[in-house]
Structures are given as C-alpha cells and as structure tokens.
Amino acid sequence: MNGKSVMECVDAAHAVIEQHRDEIAQLDQAIGDGDHVFNLLRGLEALIELRPQIEGLEFQPALSLSASKLLSTIGGSSGPLLASLLMGMAKTPAPELNSSSLAAMFKSGVAMMAARGKAGVGEKTMLDVLIPVSETFEELTSTHVSSDQLLSAIKTRAEDGMLATREMIATKGRASFLGERAVGHIDPGARSSQLIITAICDLVAGRHESRASDALEYAGRGA
C-alpha cells in the first residue's frame, strides 16, 4: 500500500459522495447548516488535484499530506475533524501494513477525531458510524475471519450506526439546538461516513476478486 492506494480510496469516496450529493444535502438542511456535503466534496476535490504528490509518497506520509490539505481546504468543523482522522492514522506506528496494523491505525485516527470533536457514540454525529466500525475492525482482525467476512461486517456495522442516528437527540453542532425536533432525521455526517466506508470496502473487495481471478487464470495456463 502506498499513496496510490490512498488516492484510490479518495476517488471511491468522491464518486459515492457525488452520487449521493442531493440526499446528503437534504439531510443536512433538515438539521444542520446545509453545507456538509459541499465542504466534503471540496476537500476530496482538493486531494484529487494533489494526486501526483500524494501518489509519490508511501502510505502514511500520503495520509499526513492529505490531512494537511483537508485542514487548509475544508471550512467549519469538518476540516479539523477529518484531518484529525487521517493524521491519527498517519502517526500510528505500523512497521508492516496488514489488516491488524490498518485496524490499529483506524482506531487511533477515530480516537483523535473524537478527542478533537469532544464527542462519542450516541451524540448523533459521524462518530456513531466511525467508532463502532473501528471496534469491529479491530475485533475481527484478531480472529480468523476471511477478508470477505471482515468487509461485510464492517459495512453492516457502518449501516447500523448510521441508521441508529435517526432516533438520537443531537448534542453537537447546529442540530443540538433542535432538541427533540432532530429525532427522526439521520445525521448527514453519519450518512456520508457510511457511504465512504462502504465504497472503500467495495474497492478492497474488488481488488481481492481481481487477484483471485488472475491467480485462477495463471493456474489455468500452467495446467
């Protein structure tokens, strides 16, 4: 994994957020400032413009550069929060990149974001998706589940966390001023986070399928 892997994830995230732009905007207009999706797209597009520099780096330096770019590009609270996620991942020791080290990196990134936002599970934010996903990721990498089972479990946990925000009373951001009126609305940050996690899981699953197909083809030629 290197900077090209980071950019593949950025491309997948940009595509799915662009696809669901109107939906996320409507969610945010109901309980937020209405600018979440536009800030998110602005940040992702800034990373796409930085592609040559990011792709030329190893994985964690690429995350660090991406974090700095997001911090300087995205307005409001989203910039510092998303930058904290990537910076926390970039700073986590990882002598070898594998499922376990990636899980540890993601857990550290989510923890840094939670500390920056002073929020946790149950407060109707993107952390209602990210924290459970980080827990599932860490838990399952210590077992012997297959890659497909791991990715499926992460996607399910992300969706469950996103849907759970519908019945929560917000305690952070503009939605917190609505009190019980925010109940019945899915948090836009939770939805965008769930979409991005699902897109990245699908990207990884597609890589595995491609490698398996290549291996079968190679084996067939050698038979």
Predicted TM-score (pTM) of the model is 0.90
Task: Look at the block and give the residue holding tokens 């520099």.
Answer: 53
CATH of the domain at 94: 1.25.40.340
Cα 63 from Cα 91, distance rounded (Å):
9
Q: Which residues pair with 58 in a beta bridge?
A: 2
Range of the domain at 36: 3-222
Domains identified in the chain, total number: 1
pLDDT of res. 45: 98
pLDDT, residue 210, reads 52
The amino acid present at 214, given as its one-letter code, is D
List per-residue pLDDT tens for the chain, 223 residues long.
899 999 999 999 999 999 999 999 999 999 888 889 999 999 999 999 999 999 999 999 999 999 999 999 987 778 899 999 999 999 999 888 899 999 999 999 999 999 999 999 999 999 999 999 999 999 999 888 899 999 999 999 999 999 999 999 988 777 776 778 879 999 999 999 999 999 999 999 987 555 444 433 434 445 5
Contact 9, 203 (CB under 8 A): yes
Q: What is the pLDDT of residue 194?
A: 98
Q: What's residue 216's pLDDT?
A: 38
Q: Report residue 192 CA to chain centroid gap.
A: 8
Which residue, chain included where needed, has tokens 């995230």?
Answer: 13
Residues making up the chain, counted from first to last: 223
**Burial class, 126, CB count within 10 angstroms (exposed 0-12 / middle 13-18 / buried 19+):** buried
Number of C-alpha atoms within 13 angstroms, CB side, residue 200?
Answer: 18
